């Protein structure tokens, strides 16, 4: 069966605090987050920018979180104000995953990797691995 796998990376800067955390991460601070998106599909789809079925999805749809927070993304926002869950790295990856699925065609397997620092990252998918 044919398979296409898109990979893209982007960065965004944001502030947050982990509500209820007993330590310095419980105070407002910021990170330069790095995100990798991996989108796998067995068929090609149209996009908002291309009507023919020639893409897994548009890279623009995968990079929505890199947009300014005032334009629907996460960049330069306070994550506690933008997300309905606590802002741990795990929940940030899950949030980006769930919001991205709303923006891309059905049937695409998505994996999100979020680096909070150069040496600390989390991977999230809703598929069994």
Over the chain (129 residues), the average pLDDT of each successive run of 10 is 97 98 97 98 94 96 97 98 98 98 96 97 91
DSSP code of 83?
A: -
User: How many domains are there within the chain?
Assistant: 1
- Catalytic site includes residue 25: yes
Containing 32, the helix (H) or strand (E) segment is: strand 29-41
- Catalytic site includes residue 16: no
Q: Which domain holds residue 63?
A: 4-125
3-state secondary structure of 15: strand
Q: What is the pLDDT of residue 26?
A: 97
CA 74 to chain centre: 9
Residue 60, φ and ψ in degrees, nearest 5: -60, -40
Which position among 9, 25, 42, 94 bears the catalytic label? 25
CATH label of the domain that carries residue 35: 3.30.479.10
Buried b (16+ CB within 10 A) or exposed e, 83-109: beebbbbebbbbbbbebbeeebbeebe
Q: Which residue has the tokens 């991205």?
A: 100
DSSP code of 42?
A: S
Q: What is the pLDDT of residue 101?
A: 97
- Catalytic site includes residue 76: yes
Which position among 90, 116, 120, 123 bears the catalytic label? 116
CA distance 92 to 8: 17
Closest residue by Cα to residue 94 from 126, 69, 62: 126
CA 127 to chain centre: 16
Q: What is the pLDDT of residue 106?
A: 94
């Amino acid at each position: 069966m044919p398979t296409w796998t898109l990979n893209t990376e982007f960065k965004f800067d944001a502030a947050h605090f982990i509500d209820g955390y007993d330590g310095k991460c419980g105070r407002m601070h910021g990170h330069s987050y790095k995100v990798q998106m991996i989108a796998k599909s067995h068929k090609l789809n149209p996009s908002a920018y291309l009507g023919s079925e020639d893409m897994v999805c548009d890279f623009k749809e995968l990079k929505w979180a890199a947009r300014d927070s005032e334009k629907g993304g996460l960049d330069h926002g306070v994550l506690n104000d933008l997300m309905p869950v606590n802002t741990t790295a795990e929940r940030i990856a899950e949030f980006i995953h769930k919001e991205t699925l709303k923006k891309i065609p059905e049937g695409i397997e998505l994996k999100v990797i979020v680096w909070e620092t150069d040496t600390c990252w989390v991977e999230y998918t809703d598929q069994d691995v």
